[in-house]
Amino acid sequence: MQIDNLLKQVDFIKEIDKLKYIQRKTKLFNSDRHENDAEHSWHLAMMTIVLAEHANKPIDVLKVMKMVLIHDIVEIDAGDTFIYDTQKNHSNTEQERIAAKRIFGILPAEQAEEFIAIWEEFEEGKTDDAKFAKSMDRFEPLLQNTSNNGGTWSEFNVSYQKVYHKKKAIKEGSSSIWNYAENLLNESVKNGILKT
């Protein structure tokens, strides 16, 4: 049984290597190089460890780390959707649900169920853990864009109002990080790297 599990787990470990090829729209800090989903997921896990004290409500740090580490794995099949893409709903599409079933389904049944449940909890964004995980996912590209002279905001001509609308989800996870983030957005408008 343990050996059966190990074989499935090794298959899964090989499969998720593909996350390193999924390019995001955002770029690394002070850089022209696009970030990939594996790098992004690592960074969110680091942010979760480091910033957990700022959560509005007590969070289960291990659970949130699992969330951010796996949250983009469905993009191996479904691809990265740009958060400001108005043609396509960003979250939890049917395509992503099928991807979750296929990819997490490589694991032993009990683990597959756990991973799908964690991914769905993240996507729904209703629990305190999911809210904090989402706030990490919104905060990282904000920091990247401000370091990159507006980054994707300038590149794709995204307005302050649209950015604000997406970023205010940070507040649900952490009021203190939101205070900091809101200031950064206001400064970005003043500096002309984010247009109203």
Taking CB under 8 A as the criterion, the residue among 25, 54, 166, 195 binding its own copies is 54
Neighbours of 168 (CB within 10 A): 14
Is 136 within 8 Å of 68 (Cβ atoms)? yes
Query: What are the angstrom distances between the C-alpha of 135 and each of 97, 108, 167?
Result: 22, 30, 8
Q: Select the span of 50-58, 81-89, 119-127, 149-157 touching its own copies (CB under 8 A).
A: 50-58
Torsion of CA 192, 166, 117, 26, to 10 degrees: -20
Query: Is residue 38 near its own copies by the rule CB under 8 A?
Result: yes
Smallest gap from Cβ 128 to its own copies, in A, equals 17
With respect to its own copies, which residue has the nearer C-beta, 38 or 83? Answer: 38
Give the torsion through C-alpha atoms of 25, 28, 31, 34, to 10 deg.
-40
Q: Which residues bind its own copies (CB under 8 A)?
A: 2-3, 5-6, 9-10, 12-14, 16-17, 19-21, 28-29, 35-36, 38-39, 41-43, 45-47, 49-51, 53-54, 61-62, 65-66, 69-70, 107, 111, 140, 143, 147, 176-177, 180
